[in-house]
């Protein structure tokens, strides 16, 4: 009985292999512009000194004061960014002091409010780090959907051309979808200690667009 089952299984595999058509790997992509309708900016407090506890008090006080101002502005979200404490060495490679930094990250669709807020935060002894423009999540999702539809149509069109030239019918065996593009566009990247309180408020931001791309890769099977 076992011999009969083994023979039937092998026979089924051979038949399935014989019926399978040629496999062809394909890829296609589509890109669409997405409006940079959101601004992301970072501000930070950074101090140096001999006593880490005193530095922490100063940084925490700066951040707490900044949070009060930011939270009073409607339509602007804020979250904690990078925080670091590291030693400052003397020429003799001995620890001569400490430097502490704490960062806040702001996001909003209201570019004017963010620009105004950054100016006020600089007057409070905070420095501006990076300022970038990028598509908001809802804008990005909408454009990704549009690019995905176009990429799938391009994949199907390419598959149909290959099958037609070979006089075959076809079906999709495997499909992979990857999204790309739409990365933040840097508008300002300050060097350490450059953008301090004495500077004027940042200039109005030019939003522009980002290119969002959908890449489709997969495999089709050709059959008679």
Check whether 79 has a pLDDT greater than 80. Answer: yes
Answer whether 129's CB lies under 8 Å from 190's CB.
Answer: yes
- Work out whether the CA dihedral 44, 74, 211, 204 comes out positive or negative: negative
In whole angstroms, how large is the CA radius of gyration of the chain?
A: 29
d(CA 78, CA 57): 21
pLDDT in tens, 87-139: 988 887 888 899 999 999 999 999 889 989 999 999 988 999 989 999 999 99
Which pLDDT does position 92 carry in this prediction? 79
Instruction: Please give the pLDDT value at position 157.
Output: 96
Contact in structure between 59 and 125 (CB atoms under 8 Å): no
Which residues are within 8 A (CB) of 141 and not within 5 positions of it... i.e. 6 or more apart? Answer: none
Write down how long the chain is.
Answer: 224
> Do 98 and 52 touch, CB atoms closer than 8 A?
yes
State pTM to two decimals: 0.73
Rounded to whole angstroms, the Cα distance separating 224 from 222 reads: 7
pLDDT tops 80 at residue 72: yes
Higher per-residue pLDDT: 69 or 94:
69
For residue 90, the SS3 value is coil
- In the three-class reduction of DSSP (H, G, I as helix; E, B as strand; rest coil), residue 118 is classed as helix
Contact between 35 and 207 under an 8 Å Cβ cutoff? The reply is yes
What is the per-residue pLDDT for 14?
Answer: 40
Question: Does pLDDT of 58 surpass 60?
Answer: yes
- Give me the pLDDT at residue 187, please: 65
11-25, 43-57, 100-114, 204-218: which has the minimum mean pLDDT? Answer: 11-25
Contact predicate 57/47, CB 8 Å: no
Contact by Cβ (8 Å): 38, 109: yes
Q: Is pLDDT larger for residue 95 or for residue 20?
A: 95
122, 80, 78: which is closest to 101 by C-alpha?
A: 80
């Amino acid at each position: 009985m076992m011999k009969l089952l083994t023979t039937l299984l092998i026979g089924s595999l051979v038949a399935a292999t014989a019926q399978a058509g040629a496999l062809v790997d394909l890829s296609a992509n589509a890109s669409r512009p997405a409006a940079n309708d959101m601004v992301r900016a970072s501000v930070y407090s950074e101090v140096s000194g001999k006593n880490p506890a005193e530095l922490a008090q100063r940084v925490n006080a700066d951040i707490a004061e900044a949070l009060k101002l930011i939270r009073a502005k409607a339509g602007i979200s804020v979250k904690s960014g990078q925080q670091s404490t590291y030693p400052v060495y003397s020429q003799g490679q001995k620890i001569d002091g400490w430097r502490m930094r704490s960062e806040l990250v702001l996001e909003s669709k209201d570019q004017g409010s963010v620009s105004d807020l950054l100016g006020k935060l600089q007057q409070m002894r905070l420095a501006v780090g990076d300022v970038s423009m990028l598509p908001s999540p809802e804008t990005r999702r909408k454009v990704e959907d549009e690019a995905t539809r176009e990429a799938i149509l391009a994949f199907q069109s390419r598959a149909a051309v290959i099958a037609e030239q070979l006089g075959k019918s076809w079906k999709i065996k495997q499909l992979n979808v990857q999204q790309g593009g739409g990365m933040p566009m840097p508008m300002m990247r300050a060097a350490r200690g450059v953008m301090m309180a004495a500077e004027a408020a940042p200039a109005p931001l030019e939003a522009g667009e980002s290119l969002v791309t959908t890449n489709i890769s997969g495999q089709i099977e050709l059959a008679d």
